[in-house]
Structure formats: structure tokens, C-alpha cells
Amino acid sequence: MLNFELRAATADDQGFLFDSYKSTLQPYVDWAWGWDESFQRESFTKHFPVTQFKVITVEGGDAGGLYVEEQESLRFIRLIYLLPEFQGNGVGRQLIENEMERACAAKKALHIKVVKINRAKSLYDRLGFKLVEETDVTYHMHIPV
């Protein structure tokens, strides 16, 4: 596995966070809802404040984003994504396992949502996430307390 770290995002990271979101998740968003560039930029900025993100760095370079929302009874991984060149080497798995440990320590369920055609679902299945809700285009999964 490659060496990785998380660092708090700053306003200077806004462009990177959106651009890496787009390059990683655009095919899934397009499949599920359609991709409208201006809507996606506006929605991303509105619903995913940069100050709530952690920038994932791999081997010293920016590689993706992690946004975890702390709620009263659960931790919700709102977004997790790695640029394609950093996928498949265990970083994503370790990040999610770290979140599983944090949720367990806080005695909270861990929730994640995934577009149905995203191959990341198989990782979530292997890690023990259970399906709790399904829409036409997404699976809502969690690990209970």
C-alpha cells in the first residue's frame, strides 16, 4: 500500500477538490442524474463546504477528497474519492477502515451511499456494510453500532 495522509482542506483546495471529484465521479453522476457542469460546480460548493473536507495525499501529492459528516447517531461518509492513478492500491480501503474504527469508538453507525454502477460497492460489501435503502440509482449502506 502507498503511504497516505489526510490534511484539512483550505479555500485554496476548492479547485482541486472539484476537479478531482469530476474526474473520478463524473461517469457515475452522469449515469445516475446527468452531468451539467455549472449545476455540479454550484451544487458541490453549496453542499460540500471545503472546510469540511480532508484532502487525501498519497506519497506527498494530492490524490482525492474525504468528507465525513458527524451526526448525532451516525458518521456519514458523504464523499470519498481518489484519482484513478491512486485507486486499487489499498488506500481507499484503509481510509474506510479508519472511519469504521472512529465510528465504533464513538458508538455510532457508519453510513455510505454509492451509485449502483460504481465498483466501489464491492469493497463496501467486503468491509461489512449492509444495504439499508435502495433507490433507482443508489445504494445506501451502513455498518450498525
Q: What is the CATH number of the domain that holds 95?
A: 3.40.630.30
Confidence (pLDDT) at 44? 96
For residue 11, what pLDDT band results from cuts at 50, 70 and 90? very high
Range of the domain at 13: 4-143
Q: Mind listing the pLDDT tens digit for each residue in 30-80? A: 999 999 999 999 999 999 999 999 999 999 899 999 999 999 999 999 999
Residue 1 has pLDDT above 80, yes or no: no
Entry pTM: 0.94
Q: What average pLDDT score do residues 125-138 get?
A: 97
The amino acid occupying position 38 is S
The residue to which cell 474504527 is assigned: 101
Nearest to 45 by CA among 10, 18, 8: 18
Total number of domains in the chain: 1
Average model confidence (pLDDT) across the chain = 96
**Distance set, CA 62 to CA 10, 43, 53, 136 (Å):** 13, 22, 13, 33
